Structure 1
């Protein structure tokens, strides 16, 4: 608790949400760009054969481990962002399920991404000793946790902010509508488990979604006194 010059006691606002989301976005981009620059090849996907996956993991161990490291690093800021925005929405007087949905989605996304990063790192460490069938199964898990699972959780985080943001006008209406579209695309992406064509929604939900969260983090009012100026 801090006291202003007028004698009014204020609660600490917490980490700057916009910067926290920007850090998560930067690490997420680096997790793709850095390994690609080092190996000149993309990380294996479920569509890759076990032999292709083994060749990548054994032939580019540094790229594989750096990608996993950066992926894991991106998970922590997302959890911090979810907790920060949840507290701020409550402070702004939002008493609908939105903040709880956002918090649940953000923590889920953070945990799933962290698990995916750790699993990918472990896979890179022991790829030569893993049977082909087990290797392919583990790659499917890495993709499912860090792709479909993470984006699904991120979609809930976005939706939990966008809906009250639109109704109470905490953020510009156009930005709230963009958030709702991103949230819908993120949730629909789980259909990629049946039809690979929906996988195109995963990078949209991941990177554009994080960019949206960064923008909201900078624009979201800090106190209820700031809300009328945005209406």
Structure 2
């Protein structure tokens, strides 16, 4: 496979990014999955990211360690802030400051090293929690910046950031993934999952995930605490 068909895929271990990985592979990309140990409280997602990558024989997986918990500011990185279990207005406290910007920047660097022109990310602007770095305007702006920032782009190798889930509902995402053979029992989406990967069933991410399976008309394979 030529280098032009290599892609870096951001994989969190959750439902959305696992679907994106399947979509990238279906398009013929040789996938290099990238996860981040960034100080998140829900570390079960790291094991899930490794699982969804390891079941695919042609996928190379990398974990980069960061310390976003050193700046805090989010219920996902600061144990003193409770993960909300009720819906709220505005940008929720589970938003991690600059997370996607940091993640995409590192993905951009790895893509350039690999000779890849493509990065896939599972952001979504329909069934999501209101995070500003999940909007289409943000993805487009980052792509513009990326093509100003790299030697590869200056030498004529335009970088493309793919966000194929952007306009899909959670139910549509699940239906798409099932058609591509995704095993959602391997994934973890919960913001406060146990070390064993059991989901709370109460946080915003769990609510969106559960409703997605209802909308898709299929059984929910998620393992809940109760």
Q: What TM bracket, shorter-length normalisation?
A: under 0.3
Q: State which structure, 1 or 2, has the greater radius of gyration over its C-alpha atoms.
A: 1
Normalization by structure 2: what TM-score?
Answer: 0.25
Normalization by structure 1: what TM-score?
Answer: 0.24
